[in-house]
């Protein structure tokens, strides 16, 4: 029975990763279409805010179905949301950290060349692996570390676009840019692993945790809407530039967000990174057919590295999807030897 149970669990994890990859790839393609074809560009900050609202509503609906009846559903909300300000504060941490990450990424892009930004920002992949080892007391084998850095290099090559010379001189501060990218990378690794630790450290329903996080996420994104586009939104309206395609992008982002939490719950953040890399490859291939994008040698090599790294990371190994008990020595945990 044990081998059968392990095979079923593996198939479920692969299913979650495959769905997340397909949703993420479809989202990327739809997002590119809306940003290149629509005459009136919508405010991306409002789209992010609406996405958080939809994810909250979907989580509430799934929790209602999970609890079975209205009485238990109300009791669950009262106990875990309305009556647990401490838990709400705990789940507000990822939302705040992600907000810092997005702002630091924008600051870094404004002060670094696009190529340098592409390369350095992919350090979030090994940073996530390091946070997983340090915060969740897990070990990664030497082969797994190799596959993580191979994935990092593959994503860089897949997304590589040669710099184009322009006559515009932009004043940049590289020191500020590298500092911002370092903060963004650390925020990315910490926030994802922190949320995974919260999910797996208690028996609280995944959908309750999602509700707690999305409530704080709505507050954070509303602040972002006001600070970034408040004046223009007041003039043009909250839903300015919205089309059916924009709503499709928002829906895909919402479904993708929910699937991401499922993947984190039942696999780990490192596998989420591999799934995101596979989505980049799929969306780029689709862009060749839909938008006439040219396949380059660097893209082909990057795709090969991504595929090999996914295979190497998936080889039989010690289970890394649950939090380990005990506190092994730091050196042993980091090296995995």
Question: Which tens digits make up the pLDDT trace of 60-119?
Answer: 999 888 888 888 888 888 888 877 788 888 888 988 888 888 778 878 877 877 667 777
How many Å apart are CA 273 and CA 279, to the nearest integer?
Answer: 10
Tokens at residue 60, please?
């509430």
Residue 50 structure tokens: 């609406």
- If one counts every other C-beta atom within 10 angstroms of the C-beta of residue 315, the result is 10
pLDDT band, very low/low/confident/very high, at 144 (cuts 50, 70, 90): confident
Inform me whether the pLDDT recorded for 36 exceeds 60. no
215 pLDDT higher than 60: yes
CA–CA separation, 57 and 60 (whole Å): 5
Structure tokens at 114: 């696009």
Q: What residue segments make up the domains of the chain, in order of their start?
A: 10-314
**Whole-prediction pTM value?**
0.74
Closest to 28 (Cα-Cα) out of 233, 279, 257, 260: 279
> Would you mind telling me the total number of residues written for the chain in this entry?
337
> At 336, is the pLDDT very low, low, confident or very high (cuts 50, 70, 90)?
very low
Largest Cα–Cα separation, the chain:
68
205 band by pLDDT with thresholds 50, 70 and 90: confident
Exposed, middle or buried, 55 (CB in 10 Å: 0-12/13-18/19+)?
buried
CA distance 330 to 325: 14
Question: What secondary structure letter does DSSP report for 39?
Answer: S
pLDDT of residue 101: 84
Please choose, from the candidates 184, 264, 222, 254, the residue with its C-alpha nearest in 3D space to the C-alpha of residue 17. 264
């Amino acid at each position: 029975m044990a081998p059968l149970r392990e095979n079923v669990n593996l198939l479920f994890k692969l299913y979650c990763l495959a769905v997340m990859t397909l949703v993420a790839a479809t989202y990327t393609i739809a997002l590119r279409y809306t940003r290149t074809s629509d005459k009136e560009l919508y405010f991306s900050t409002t789209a992010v805010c609406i996405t958080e609202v939809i994810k909250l509503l979907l989580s509430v609906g799934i929790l209602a179905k999970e609890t079975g009846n209205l009485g238990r559903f109300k009791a669950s909300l009262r106990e875990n949301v309305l009556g647990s300000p401490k838990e709400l504060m705990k789940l507000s941490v990822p939302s705040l950290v992600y907000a810092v990450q997005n702002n630091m990424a924008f600051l870094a892009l404004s002060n670094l060349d696009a190529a340098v930004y592409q390369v350095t920002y992919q350090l979030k992949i090994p940073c996530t692996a390091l946070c997983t080892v340090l915060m969740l007391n897990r070990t990664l084998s030497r082969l797994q570390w190799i596959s993580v850095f191979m994935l990092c290099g593959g994503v860089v090559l897949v997304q590589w676009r040669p710099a184009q010379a322009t006559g515009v001189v932009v004043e940049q501060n590289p020191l500020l840019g590298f500092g911002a990218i370092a903060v963004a990378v650390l925020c990315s690794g910490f926030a994802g692993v922190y949320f995974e630790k919260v999910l797996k450290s208690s028996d609280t329903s995944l959908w309750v945790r999602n509700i707690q996080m999305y409530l704080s996420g709505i507050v954070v994104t509303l602040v972002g809407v006001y600070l970034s586009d408040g004046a223009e939104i007041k003039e043009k309206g909250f839903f300015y530039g919205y089309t059916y395609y924009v709503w499709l992008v928002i829906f895909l982002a919402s479904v993708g967000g929910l699937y991401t939490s499922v993947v984190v719950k039942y696999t780990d953040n490192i596998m989420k990174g591999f799934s995101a890399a596979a989505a980049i490859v799929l969306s780029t291939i689709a862009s060749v057919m839909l938008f006439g994008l040219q396949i380059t040698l660097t893209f082909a090599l990057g795709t090969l590295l991504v595929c090999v790294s996914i295979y190497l990371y998936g080889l039989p190994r010690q289970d890394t999807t649950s939090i380990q008990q005990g506190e092994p020595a730091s050196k042993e945990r980091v090296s995995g030897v």
